[in-house]
Structure 1
Amino acid sequence: MEVVARQMLLLHLALSRPESMGVHEKTELFLEVFGNSELRSQTEEALHQVARQLQRCVSEQEMETRGVLDAALLKFKERDQLFRIFQQWVRSSTPSISTSWDARLRQHLGTRYDSRGGCFDWDLAMKLHQKGGGVISKQQYFRWRERGFAFEMREGIYNRTNATLLSTRVLPHRADKVAVRGYWGDMVSSPYISFGIESQDQSLLRTQNGTHVKTAQDISFANVETLFQALSSRWRSTHPESNQEPVNTEGLMNVGGVTVSFLPMDSLSKLPEKKKYSKFFHTIYCSASLSHQITPSLKQISSPGAVLVMELARFLLELNKEQEESFKHKVFELAGAAGFEPWTQQEDDSHAIFSLNGEGMTSEAQTHV
């Protein structure tokens, strides 16, 4: 549930109203929480404020009033877990993430730990740069691999643990099992691939003497800021008198009447059994780690012409080219068995796009995702 809690947090930050936080400040806050293992004290305080608001969002008292982030469909147990996670984020007794990060790094590299600089350089030059991440600089990538620190947009002291990156795993210990709280996320690909290696603004990708003028951090900031500006502009266009509008309990922008509804963790296999979700979803996105969930039953909950977007293994750097290509073939097999056909010519090697029966998604149908 820690992943769900973090998604709720990032959505809350992205949809916060312009009068509560400017776009520039929001972008800095979002990227810091998104990609840094340690935060500034100001960011930690903002995180605590949002966590308290999210506690109210998932509490039983607020279930009657569904907002932009709707947790009403989650099980009682799951909402209780979310409440406890948000409560943990607010506590000042959060363990240091630097120790956890180093332990994960030692576990990942094993005997190569003492020569980790060479490992970092190989992963960057021979993997990330070869896969389109040439804008990621050595200095920034090494800093992230060593400390989990991706974005430094302001001078300051980054010494507060980013509690949203910590989660609990049950691990075997001697003849028993113990719950261990630590960092269990990505140690290789980096946060830069999400927002920092592509842009519609080609000036951000300009090179001079074979070196990129802008860094992955610069591009990440520009892309996220543009996204937030677009959200604010669209919201303002539909709420010209927003200052006089009653503020919902979340204090979030309701852009185009869109609601993000969170479903139970085990819901995908059960949705086809419910009449409510028959031919319901117009767009379905599936990450590479959940590709095995694409089964023929998916057709039952997909509307006519529904679009299926599946993440490929481009940035799973532990895979070689043969394994990456094999994964791609497997994705096409799974989609085909579920009744989906390739929608258009596949030009993006990060994702594969399919549509039900090979039909394109109409503009009127872009409703349920």
Structure 2
Amino acid sequence: MTTSGEGFGSVTMWGFSPAIDLQEDVRGCLPTNEEGIEVMNILLIGSGDCRHILKTMAQRRRHKKRKIHIYVVENNLELLGRHLLLLTLALEPSDKVGLQEKVDLFSELYGNALIRQQSAQYLQEKANLFIEMITDLDYFDERMPTIDLSQLKYKERDYLEGIFKFWREPNPKYFNISSLWDNRLRQYLGVRYDARKGVFDWDLSMKLHELGAKVVTKNEYFRWRENGVAFETREGIYDRPNNSMACGILLKRRDGERVPCRGYWGDMITGPYVAFGLDAEDKSLFKTANGKPTKTVEDITLHNLTLLFHELSSGQQSIRNDVVAIVEPERRDSESEVTHERTSHREFYAPIPCEEVCVHFLPLNFVNELPRKSKFKNLFNAAFVSASMVHLLVPSLKDIFAEHSRLNIELVKFILDLDKTQVDGFSNRILTMAGDVGFQPSLDQSEALVSNCFAKFNKA
């Protein structure tokens, strides 16, 4: 049986570009609703994670008051499940999950193949909750009004229920991520496996660091390449599989038949560092001493997540040190006792209010259907397309974008397996593809396609 041997993987667990606020650079006049409030519609194609959603939600108060609709298209239902998991965690009220605990949980569930027992327990609790929600959409709307599942097909909601049932499985043998990780690593490296430390060092120093990711330290990167643990935010044993990283794909056997197989099919080269760890509003985080960064990529990731969650909850951009220290270390153990006793896993507390934003999950591979639906005609004011799904940007999509809309296409800067010829070929290709849907580059081509992680386009 052949497997996904490429280091990039076939399932985009995290993005290869920093989180952006999709309300930035709004152009032209937006339509208004019955109350006279502007309405902005945003399309995300293959973002892989919820980084852009989070940043847009957190920074919504920095802009003119608007109603924001974000439409999400992925090619894998497990990714929609992870969107739901991480957005639910982000919107947990502070009396349920403290700020520091939220940051720790998010970073582990987002980027670690192996997590602590406490984090695995949280995942199991939420899996039970999501099963209740996915089978009762009225309850779903009550518990998570920010997310809309109504446009998913019945069979997709049924499949999501099966995913959540797997997430709550406590027996690690059903998703032996350590073995799966090592098998992928062996297949990818081949004869270089025994010299893998040298390969890791080359990828870090000659690729990531040369691309500007110098805050990624050797210890962090080697640990992640070896066992999939990107963040160790607290002391503890990281030995529980992160079931939310399990995905089912069809693999081709040697006889040509395709069979379903569950495993880890995500990135094994770059790491989950780009989304929140390579950029920050506070540029002092990137100071160097004796030629070396004073902060690690984990430091910067935790700093950014702390500010995002604080602003999401309070609307304040700055944060006091005493606020960061809010932790509830006893909550998890005491709550677990209640969880085992009750017959219903429903929660009846409200999430952090975010009435201005609604996130709509669209059916799998729905991009080709968008121009066939009249409700999407001239709808979208902004869009993001990932490098892994840019092939879906076809001329028939031209009519779904509103006048003066903005398009961000993720570049392949941090996909380390590609050589310069492939990178340049990708950049030239997206110029043509964007032009075919009515967009022109918003910056000088060399700046937009070389130094940045995005190519930015405006609709004429």
TM-score, structure 2 as length reference? 0.72
Tell me the equivalent position of 1:312.
Answer: 411
Secondary structure of the equivalent of 2:431? Answer: helix
Secondary structure of the equivalent of 1:255? Answer: coil
For 2:140 and 2:86, the matched residues in 1 are separated by: 23
**Are positions 1:96 and 2:176 aligned together?**
yes
CA RMSD of aligned residues (A): 2.0
Conserved? CA contact 2:224–2:230, under 8 Å: yes
Tell me the equivalent position of 2:203.
Answer: 123
Tell me the equivalent position of 1:365.
Answer: none
**Are positions 1:262 and 2:365 aligned together?**
no
**Are positions 1:178 and 2:256 aligned together?**
no
- The 3 A distance-change label for structure 1 pair 253 and 111 is same
For 2:269 and 2:423, the matched residues in 1 are separated by: 16
Tell me the equivalent position of 2:160.
Answer: 82
Tell me the equivalent position of 2:186.
Answer: 106
Conserved? CA contact 2:270–2:415, under 8 Å: yes
Conserved? CA contact 2:213–2:278, under 8 Å: yes
Letter in 2 for 1:225: T
For 1:139 and 1:21, the matched residues in 2 are separated by: 30
Q: Which runs of 4+ in 1 moved over 6 A?
A: none
Gap runs ≥5 in structure 1: 236-246, 358-369
For 1:207 and 1:61, the matched residues in 2 are separated by: 51
Conserved? CA contact 1:58–1:72, under 8 Å: no
Q: 2:129 pairs with 53, 57, 69, which one? A: 53
- The 3 A distance-change label for structure 1 pair 210 and 142 is same
For 1:112 and 1:277, the matched residues in 2 are separated by: 50
- The 3 A distance-change label for structure 1 pair 273 and 177 is closer
For 2:349 and 2:127, the matched residues in 1 are separated by: 11
Tell me the equivalent position of 1:326.
Answer: 425
Letter in 2 for 1:187: M
Tell me the equivalent position of 1:3.
Answer: 79
Conserved? CA contact 1:195–1:219, under 8 Å: yes
Residues 249-274 of structure 1: CA distance to partner in whole angstroms, max 9, x if unpaired? Answer: 67322324211110011321111111
Mean Cα displacement is larger for which, 18-27 or 302-311? 18-27
Secondary structure of the equivalent of 1:130? Answer: coil
**Are positions 1:355 and 2:458 aligned together?**
yes
For 2:180 and 2:108, the matched residues in 1 are separated by: 19
Deviation at 1:174, TM superposition (A): 4.0
Mean Cα displacement is larger for which, 92-101 or 134-143? 92-101
- The 3 A distance-change label for structure 1 pair 250 and 110 is farther
**Are positions 1:12 and 2:88 aligned together?**
yes
Conserved? CA contact 1:53–1:250, under 8 Å: no
Letter in 2 for 1:349: N
For 1:24 and 1:64, the matched residues in 2 are separated by: 27
Residues 66-122 of structure 1: CA distance to partner in whole angstroms, max 9, x if unpaired? Answer: 721111110001001111101110012332210000001011111111111111011
Secondary structure of the equivalent of 2:315? Answer: helix
Secondary structure of the equivalent of 2:417? Answer: coil
For 2:167 and 2:223, the matched residues in 1 are separated by: 25
For 2:297 and 2:252, the matched residues in 1 are separated by: 39
Tell me the equivalent position of 1:303.
Answer: 402
Conserved? CA contact 2:99–2:310, under 8 Å: yes
- The 3 A distance-change label for structure 1 pair 102 and 250 is farther
Mean Cα displacement is larger for which, 340-349 or 73-82? 340-349
Mean Cα displacement is larger for which, 28-37 or 59-68? 59-68
Secondary structure of the equivalent of 2:183? Answer: helix
Residues 191-245 of structure 1: CA distance to partner in whole angstroms, max 9, x if unpaired? Answer: 112211222212211111111111110011001111111101139xxxxxxxxxx
**Are positions 1:142 and 2:222 aligned together?**
yes
Tell me the equivalent position of 1:200.
Answer: 281
For 1:259 and 1:249, the matched residues in 2 are separated by: 20
TM-score, structure 1 as length reference? 0.89
For 1:210 and 1:339, the matched residues in 2 are separated by: 45
- The 3 A distance-change label for structure 1 pair 184 and 250 is farther
**Are positions 1:252 and 2:351 aligned together?**
yes
For 2:111 and 2:92, the matched residues in 1 are separated by: 19
Conserved? CA contact 2:107–2:231, under 8 Å: yes
Letter in 1 for 2:91: L
Q: 1:154 pairs with 217, 230, 234, which one? A: 234
Conserved? CA contact 2:141–2:147, under 8 Å: no
Mean Cα displacement is larger for which, 43-52 or 155-164? 43-52
| Higher RCO (C-alpha 8 Å, min separation 6) | 2
Gap runs ≥5 in structure 2: 1-76, 317-345
Write 1 or 2 for the structure with the bigger share of helix: 1
Letter in 2 for 1:164: S
For 2:166 and 2:359, the matched residues in 1 are separated by: 24
Identity rate, percent: 40
